[in-house]
Amino acid sequence: EAGVVQSPRYKIIEKKQPVAFWCNPISGHNTLYWYLQNLGQGPELLIRYENEEAVDDSQLPKDRFSAERLKGVDSTLKIQPAELGDSAVYLCASSPRDTLTGELFFGEGSRLTVL
Amino acid sequence: AQSVAQPEDQVNVAEGNPLTVKCTYSVSGNPYLFWYVQYPNRGLQFLLKYITGDNLVKGSYGFEAEFNKSQTSFHLKKPSALVSDSALYFCAVRDMGGATNKLIFGTGTLLAVQP
């Protein structure tokens, strides 16, 4: 079974440029998460989707960040414009549903460097 | 507010010796507790969880963790460390009595197993 797939794995951009990350969850997983992982920190939730609906986006900085999951499968996270402080690893995870007791399945992450 | 603490940035242990990675938590209700492992340039992988029942839970790769309600701890243990166990370990908690059931991660502990 294929795992959670993310691309690109690495991205280097100049500040004020836009950037987008793509995630394809495990087949059949209805719940999709985007996490931010700063260096030396644990992952922090940015947004959670149940199918195509964003049910928790309280931690997403909406002035520059946006996300979509149009058909309830793969998802895109966009930053426009990027700032120096956005340099981090962006992790995507999925689960069969937002089960409180279940595990999350993570992708390998997209490492962003903003110069 | 719920929180989770991993007091050690790094734990060093010799191969074959027992290892412990510490985790303490603070929640308003009952906790759901998890351990994840992150190998270099890889996504997080689920190790084990405590939801209810026996305080000693067993997980992948020979790891186990003990839930201690009075000490609000959930330390990760393994009787005999392997060099291949070297990785970054994250403790996470869901506060089932809080305003949100969001999964909160600790800052991580780097485990280094010397041959």
State the smallest CA–CA distance between residue B115 and chain A in angstroms: 25
Which candidate from B44, B104, B107 shows the least CB-CB separation from A106? B44
Residue A1's pLDDT band (boundaries 50, 70, 90)? low
User: Shortest CB distance from A108 goes to which of B42, B94, B108?
Assistant: B42
Nearest to B59 by CA among B78, B38, B83, B84: B78
Closest among A23, A19, A51 to A107, alpha carbons compared: A23
State the pLDDT confidence band at B98, using cuts at 50, 70 and 90. Answer: low
Interface test with A, best of B3, B34, B44, B47 (most A CBs within 10 A): B44
Using CA atoms, how far apart are residues B58 and B64, in angstroms rounded to an integer? 4
pLDDT given at position B102: 81
Q: What's residue A115's pLDDT?
A: 96
Please name the member of B43, B49, B94 whose beta carbon is closest to the beta carbon of A106: B43
pLDDT at A102: 82
Nearest CA in chain B to A109: B43
Which residues does chain A have within 8 Å of residue B59's beta carbon, measured at their own beta carbons? none
- pLDDT, one tens digit per residue, over A71-100 is 889 999 999 999 999 999 999 999 987 677
Give the confidence band of B80 by pLDDT, cuts at 50, 70, 90. very high
Distance (Å, whole) CA B13 – CA A102: 30
β-strand pairing of A75-79 with A110-114: unpaired
Q: In this predicted structure, what is the pLDDT of residue B29? A: 84
Residue B100 has pLDDT above 70, yes or no: no
Q: Mean of the pLDDT values across residues B76-93?
A: 97
Contact B103, B27 (CB under 8 A): no
